[in-house]
Chain A
Amino acid sequence: MKLSKIFSLLLALLLVVSLTACGGGTTAQTEAPETDAAAGTEAAQTASEPVNIVWAGWSGEEEASKDIFQRMMDTYREQTGNEVTWVGWTWDDTAQQLLIRTQGGEQLDIAQVDIGIFNTIAAAGVLADWNEVLGADYMSETFEQSALDVGNIDGKQLGMPWSMASITMVYNPEILAAAGWDTVPTTIAEFEACMADIQAYDPEIVPYAVSTKDATCAGDFMPWLWTFGGAIFNDDGTVAINSEAAVECVQWYQGLMEKGYIAMDTGRGEARQLFAQGKVAFYDDAVVAKGQAVSNGVAPEDVVKVCSAMERPVLNAGDAPQSTMWGHMLVCFQDSEYKEQAAQLAQVLISNEVALDYFTNNGMPPVTKEAAALEEVTSDAYLSGFMNSTATARLEETARMTNANEIKTVITEELQYALLGQKTAEQAVADMAARLEAL
């Protein structure tokens, strides 16, 4: 009698535990299990009381910028008395994790986003307008209009510029010099000659570690496609990739692969790693390439000796060199209870002192009018290489599209088919077009 009662009690207890999992269950018990969630979410607090804001992104995870991000957060803590918690992912996972987190309703106040994913997050309708948070006057006084435009969608300033530059080509001057090149190639013909010399100098070196896999592959392909005069989309949004130019571009890629100038199974991570080991002569990267070198033990002022930016070679001498716009923005979330404190963090991040630290050690160029005019910035040899390219940089064609990932996946897959010799260039380009049209 008694035992069976205890028995049913025990089972009932078990049930409670299992049913807490299922929100629609009979018990509405949700006591804090084991560990409590991040502090500071419960009660609305007055502005004077220190609060804990959540800052998300990826650079705080990367070896090359981890310490800088710690310093940034320390500065914020000192200046405002507030606490800040970093939540980080890899660059590749950031868009996904931000979306999941905003849908889950977990605390999230401010985030670092890349130009490439900005539009996706903005489309989800979760971002706050900086013009409302900080005032339109403040924004236009602080930033150049061109920088603001990148973060402006339908009149709303959803992104605050944090760093703007381009992804262009990076080279190792020591390898080029050893292969007999004192100047960088400016045309595709020269570029190929240079790669041949590098291969002759040391066959172990991958002349050009262009990305041939993951999310960066399509990003590297786009400026080359433009170089050959092609485009993925027309101005009206229709698919334009089925063109002579695109076929030529893919054929050129195939040629490089045949000659062993480029390699499969190479993403940005592999390229950086091999470049740091002196086993890659050229690859595509943003200004953050510097941080990589610095974290590998190169003194910040010596980085240009092993890692310099150059303009992308052009098809015919006189063409404008192509590169893609690249940059980071800060976004504030609509559901954040601490927009004001988040804005304070943003202001700390763009302040001269913090921006210069980021610039010197990681290469991130400051964007505020004031910081960009600083002597240390304007006279920097490393940056000037990038800034030349930035002048003509274009946004990735997919940057304003919410299904950017899908488009890039199609391009990457078809390019891979072509590079692997499973499809002709014509076939791959035609399939790209067909698949993009079907999206």
Chain B
Amino acid sequence: MFQRTTAFRIFFWLCVILIGGFVFLPLLWMINTALKPTDLTFTSYFFTGPLTLDNILHIVTDPKIMTYLKNSLWVSFGSSFMATLVAALAGYSFSKFRYRGRKFVMGMFMMSQAFPQAILLLAIYAMMNKAGLLGSYWALIISYVVFTLPVGTWTLKSYFDQIPDSLMESAKLDGAGNLRIMLQIVFPLAVPGMVSIAIYGFVWSWNDLLYSMTLVTDSARRTLASGLVMTFLGEASTNWGYMMAASVVAAIPVTIIFVFLQRYFIQGLTSGAVKG
């Protein structure tokens, strides 16, 4: 894409060193700290001194952190699945069907992303309480669907836009019903887009602190984001070794998922909506 001129080479290597350093050094420092014995946490060696798995083991055997991790995985998977499904249906509807109010609803979906989340919380809390969902994962799952819905709907809509109507019409002539057209013809073509939306939704839910801090008061249902804050951001002095170990442990399951799915993620972003 670019000519390998001297200037470009300089740019390339500057980026590799500077951005690479910025991106990876803190991450390595995190791992480094997680592996240091607790009494050496504040020493400055970088993987060159004694290393131990004690912190990691402490975290892995801490039933609380493991509960948070499990909760986070449940909630993130649940909401990302639901959001993708709902967004796919909505995107399909926006793309291939015409009805009154369509544009208005599309606009509302988009705007919804801009509403201040902090202020929606109290009403959501009261509502979840009325529906009897507070003690379960549903309160968070349903709330998180909203994070992903706008972007998901729009991205998938542009996917569906690229599918020629003729494809569907010929299927219709062959006698295929709406459901079959959707599930067998339209959705499979949008799989990369769906995967990238699922990942997007997953990370949103995974990272959210605000909702999980206010919609969940029980430690048994707490997710990692608020769990880590509650465990490590107290007045009590912080055990950095444990904290970093917890961060590393928390990142591992998702990293594994990412290693397998990142190709889809970027592909999904490449060939969909976002195409110029």
Does a CB–CB distance below 8 Å link A and B in the complex? Answer: yes
Whether B105 is near chain A, meaning CB under 8 Å from some CB there, is no
User: B217 contacts A104, CB within 8 Å?
Assistant: yes
Interface flags for B225-239 (1: CB within 8 Å of A; 0: not) read: 000011101111111
Nearest B-chain residue to A100, judged by Cβ: B217
Residue among A38, A62, A105 making CB contact with B218, cutoff 8 Å: A38
Please measure, in the bound complex, the distance between the C-alpha atom of A6 and the C-alpha atom of B179, giving whole angstroms.
Answer: 8
Q: Check: B135 CB closer than 8 A to any chain A CB.
A: yes
Contact between A276 and B237 (Cβ–Cβ < 8 Å)? Answer: yes
Q: Would A30 and B132 count as touching, CB distance under 8 A? A: yes
In which size bucket is the chain B interface?
35 or more
The 3 A-B pairs at the shortest CB distance, nearest first, are namely: A3-B177, A37-B135, A23-B130
Cross-interface CB contact of B239 among A10, A63, A106, cutoff 8 Å: A63
Please determine whether A87 and B217 come into contact, CB atoms closer than 8 angstroms: yes
Chain A residues 1-16 with CB under 8 Å of chain B are 1-4, 6-7, 10-11, 14
Contact A91 B235 (CB under 8 A): yes
CA distance A12 to B138 in the complex (A): 18
Q: Is the CB of B136 within 8 A of A37?
A: yes
CB distance from A219 to the nearest CB of B (A): 11
> Is B13 an interface position by the 8 A CB rule?
no
Question: Is A438 interfacial (CB-CB < 8 Å)?
Answer: no
- Collect the chain B residues with CB atoms within 8 Å of residue A88's CB: 219, 230
Instruction: Please tell me if A64 contacts chain B, counting CB pairs below 8 Å.
Output: yes
A115 to B30, CA, bound (A): 38
Interface check B204, CB cutoff 8 A: no
13 A-B Cβ contacts within 8 A?
A4-B177, A7-B177, A10-B179, A17-B82, A18-B142, A33-B136, A33-B138, A34-B74, A34-B136, A63-B239, A91-B235, A101-B217, A296-B237
- The answer to whether the Cβ of A391 comes within 8 Å of any Cβ in the partner chain is no
Contacting residues, chain A, for B137 (C-beta < 8 A): 33-35
A106-B134 CB under 8 A given contacts A92-B235, A269-B234: yes
Residues of B near A10 (CB, < 8 A) are 179
Determine if B52 is an interface residue (Cβ-Cβ < 8 Å). no
Cβ–Cβ contact B131 & A30, under 8 A: yes
* A87 to B232 Cα, complex, angstroms: 16
- The interface centre, meaning the residue of B178, B180, B218 with most chain A CB atoms within 10 A of its CB, is B218
Number of A interface residues at 8 Å Cβ cutoff, please give it.
53
Indicate whether A292 reaches chain B with its CB closer than 8 angstroms.
yes
Which residues of the partner chain B approach A63 to less than 8 Å between Cβ atoms? 236-237, 239
Would you call B233 and A90 a contact (CB within 8 A)? yes
> What total of A-B pairs shows CB separation below 8 Å?
124
B98 to chain A, nearest CB (A): 19
- For B135, list chain A residues within 8 Å (CB): 35-38, 106
A64 to B82, CA, bound (A): 41
Q: How far is the CB of A21 from chain B (nearest CB, A)?
A: 4
Q: Which listed residue (A14, A33, A86, A269) contacts B133, Cβ 8 A?
A: A33
B142 CB contacts on chain A under 8 angstroms: 18, 21
B47 at interface, CB cutoff 8 A: no
Contact A106 B131 (CB under 8 A): no
A268 B235 Cβ-Cβ under 8 A: yes
Complex contacts, B179 vs chain A, CB 8 Å: 3-4, 6-7, 10
Q: Are B234 and A30 in contact (CB under 8 A)?
A: no
Map CB proximity to B onto A275-308 as digits: 1 under 8 Å, 0 otherwise: 0110000000000000010001000000000000
> Does B125 touch A at the CB level, under 8 Å?
yes
- A7 contacts which chain B residues (CB < 8 A)? 177-179
Report which of B85, B177, B236 forms a contact with A269, defined as CB distance below 8 A: B236
What CA separation (Å) do A376 and B127 show in the bound complex?
52
Chain B residue nearest to A25 (CB atoms) is B131
Residue from the list B133, B234, B239 in contact with A90, Cβ < 8 A: B234
Interface mask (A25-63 → B, CB under 8 Å = 1, otherwise 0):
000001011111110000000000000000000100111
CA distance A30 to B214 in the complex (A): 21
Residues of A within 8 A of B125 (CB): 100, 103-104
Q: List residues of chain B with CB within 8 A of the CB of A101.
A: 217
Docked complex Cα distance between A217 and B229 (Å): 20
Cβ B136 vs Cβ A62 within 8 A:
no
Does B42 sit within 8 A of A, measured CB to CB? yes
A89 contacts chain B at the CB level, 8 A cutoff: yes
Contact with B along A99-113 (1 / 0, CB 8 A): 011011110000000
Which B residues lie within 8 Å of A36 (CB)? 135
Query: Among residues 57 to 99 in chain A, which have CB atoms less than 8 Å away from a CB atom of chain B?
Result: 58, 61-64, 86-93, 97
Cβ of B236: which chain A residues have Cβ within 8 Å of it? 62-64, 269, 272, 292
B213 within 8 A of A: yes
Q: How far is the CB of B126 from chain A (nearest CB, A)?
A: 8
